Structure 1
Amino acid sequence: MTDLDAEDNKLLVLARGAMGRTGGSAGAAVRDTDGRTYAAGEVGLASLRLTALQAAVAAAISSGAEGFEAAVVVAGRFSDPGVPAVREVSAAARIVFTDAKGAVFEVVEGPVEGDPAQRPGIPEGFDLESESEVFE
């Protein structure tokens, strides 16, 4: 497990809160370079579908954010389409991935390259194929 600093822990709390409020299966929060935070859950309308991270990025950009310091994704996936959106705005932004309970399983600094199975911090029982925990 990785301990988060106070600022990233705040993002975790906001992301978990957004997940709980929306009743979705994931939540996300981002911090812009001015220190402002934006949190969101998944959007699942018939006419609009966004992951929690995409929704948080959209909220930040539509509010005038010009860059990101960090993002936290709760119960999200490595393949989340919001990751490239974060990277488009700030290639070096830290992205923290946690399980639904908030336990950190990976902190990614900068662009993700190479085989995801070779990344450190992937918890035992985590299936990279489905990008979810495997319960036996």
Structure 2
Amino acid sequence: MPEQTFAAAPVPGTDGTPLSAEDAKLVTLARSARARVGAVEGASVRDQDGRTYAAATVVLPSLALTALQLAVAQAVASGATRLEAAAVVTEASALDGSGHAAVRDLAADAPIHVAGTNGSLLGTVL
């Protein structure tokens, strides 16, 4: 199967509005997933039933997944058909295109919150 590439999505700045408690939980889960294994990124998603899935970046000789791709894959493998929201904790200034595309496969309008490694919100991709 040919490898697909997706352009990175720019992360707009925040307008100062705090995240809801549910979305703040996503950032906390993403930070924890990243810290647990010392990964480049951590991510989490919330499905249509309110279930959450957290993941970290995977880089193996035979497999590479962004944290967001893996979180979406876990949700789908558990029966999710739609996502309500997602969060990524990263050092990057842009949301990776592959993770962005994975979320959009299940939700055209789910917000993707991008936070720094300290948990501060950098912006939200809509």
What is the TM-score normalised by the length of structure 2? 0.82
Bigger RCO of structures 1 and 2 (CA < 8 A, at least 6 apart): 2
**Residue 117 of structure 1: aligned partner:** none
Which is higher, the Rg of structure 1 or of structure 2? 1
Corresponding position: 1:87 with 2:100: no
Paired with 2:36 and 2:97, the residues of 1 have a C-alpha distance of 20
Size of the alignment, in residue pairs?
A: 109
**Residue 72 of structure 2: aligned partner:** 57
Q: Which runs of 4+ in 1 moved over 4 A?
A: none
Aligned-partner residue type, residue 90 of structure 1: A
Paired with 2:66 and 2:110, the residues of 1 have a C-alpha distance of 18
Question: 1:81-125: per-residue Cα shift (whole Å, max 9, x none)?
Answer: 11111111110111001111111111122xxxxxxxxxxxxxxxx
Instruction: Report if the CA contact (8 A) 1:53-1:80 is conserved.
Output: no
Cα shift at 1:80: 3.5
Corresponding position: 1:97 with 2:114: yes
Paired with 2:23 and 2:105, the residues of 1 have a C-alpha distance of 20
What is the TM-score normalised by the length of structure 1? 0.76
**Residue 67 of structure 1: aligned partner:** 82
Root-mean-square deviation (CA, aligned residues, Å) is 1.2
Identity %: 50
Question: 1:47-96: per-residue Cα shift (whole Å, max 9, x none)?
Answer: 11001001101111111101000000100532331111111111011100
Cα shift at 1:4: 1.0
Paired with 2:24 and 2:63, the residues of 1 have a C-alpha distance of 29
Cα shift at 1:45: 1.0
Aligned-partner residue type, residue 65 of structure 2: L
Structure 1 stretch displaced more, 73-82 or 96-105: 73-82
> 1:22 pairs with 37, 53, 71, which one?
37
